[in-house]
Structures are given as structure tokens and as C-alpha cells.
Structure 1
């Protein structure tokens, strides 16, 4: 075997290895949607022009929680990011501001009903204010009462959804 044949053989072997070494940690196993709401008993217009009325279904859910009971609920922003099998990801629901960030990472599958344990961190003004591992399932958002903001309180909702269908 001459040198040229050896180099060609090594190149072909290297191509086969790189294709076979796809990173399973980058598999998308779900989606996480982070929504920031404001609950207020005061003037709802103080939230600014970005705010819009919250969906009636979420208003009913929020109003049902004693600590989240307000007169008005506004949606300030939303971000949806993929949930990777073994990588962390960040959601930024109020772009271009990085005042509110949510870091999340899959930890384990808890049941056949797509319930997952996620490692979640909430960052406000570049400071980590909450770290938890939450058992989450699609359709049931994790609600966090945030700080006071423009005459009301921020409410951060993180919700798990199944991965998008293949080919879409």
C-alpha cells in the first residue's frame, strides 16, 4: 500500500467516525416556554406598551392562587427554547433586555406521561435569585412570584411542552 492509498483510507475512516459520533446530548427532548406576567391591583397601563392582556385561561389559573391574586394580569413577554437531553439552555422572555433570564437543564424522566425533572435557575438583573429542581409535565406551568415592578408584581411561568414533531 502506498502513501496516497494510506492517506485516502485514513480520510475515509475519519469521515465515517465523525458521522457516527453525533452528540446524543443535543437531542431535543422537549420545549420550554417562559412567560413573564405582571399582576397588579393598580393602573395596568403603567406596565408600558409592550404589555398585553393575559390569556383568560392563565388569568383563571393565576387568580386561583392566593399569593398571585390581583385585579389585572398582563403578559409582558414570552420565549420558547428547546430542551436538550444533556445541555443547559437559556430563555430570555423580554428581549433585548437581559433583566429576566431562565436557565434550565433536563435531569431525568419521571414517568411515561412525559413528566421530567428539570434543574431551573431564575436570574434577575444578572443575579441568581432562585435555583430549584422541579418536576414538570406538559400543560402545567411552574409559577414563580417575582419582584415588585411598576406598581405590581412580576410572575414568571415556565412550562414544559413535548418536542416538535419530526420533519416540522
Structure 2
């Protein structure tokens, strides 16, 4: 993918709809932007986002940068919720580790949003503090200005 934010263009994607009414053709604008030009992209995100919304289009960002930021924020948020629930229960990480058989380091990774292990471990920890895992439809969002530093931390 070698798209550039300087040369972004509007592509009209023709989508054939299979649900009733059959045979209806929908024309939808799609904006294509290269992920490696994220700094420039963030400067013009308001305009592009407005145009995509105004025209009923879809904003595609290559390299999954936006999804990674959203996903990390979600993990951090879940970790904070788990940690505060554990503390409200009057439990230390050491006590939860002994109760569940999960390594204290792993509990810390979960609470800090850095855990990439098994769902079984995650569920055992949730169960120990009286929480449960629920699934909802993902809400996509663009990174906020305060998240720009996190996006480019590895570039420095």
C-alpha cells in the first residue's frame, strides 16, 4: 500500500447489495490514506473525517494504526477497571496470584493493558475479582490529539 495523504483521492466504490431489494447498487466514497504519513494525516483529519461523514463514506487507514491505538486504549481501560475492582475487594496481586495460580507478573500485565496471553488466564482473573467478560460491537474512532505522542513514540 503506497497511498499518500498529500495525494489522497476519492474513490467511488460500487457495492452490489445482496439484501432486499435485490439488485440495488450503492455508490459510496472511500478515502485512502497511507498509515506512515500519520502526522500529516492527523493535521488534516478533521477535514477528511468530515468529508467521509458528509458523503456517507468510509475512512480507511492502512497499517492498522488507528485500530492498534483503539485496542491498546481499550486494554488499558479494562486493566484499570480490573485493578480498581481488585483493590475494592481488598485483595493484593499476591493474594489473587495465590488464589488463581496466575503469576503475579501476569496479573500486572493484565492490569497495565500489556497482557497477550490466553483467554483462560484472563477469565480466571476476572472471576477471582467478581467480573465477567462481555462482548459488544466495536466502536471505531480516530486517535485524539493527546494520543499523537503514543503513535509516534517509536519514531523518536
TM-score of the alignment, normalized to the shorter chain, above 0.5 = no
**TM-score class normalised by the smaller sequence:** under 0.3
Structure with the higher helix share, 1 or 2: 2
TM-score by length of 1: 0.20
TM-score by length of 2: 0.21
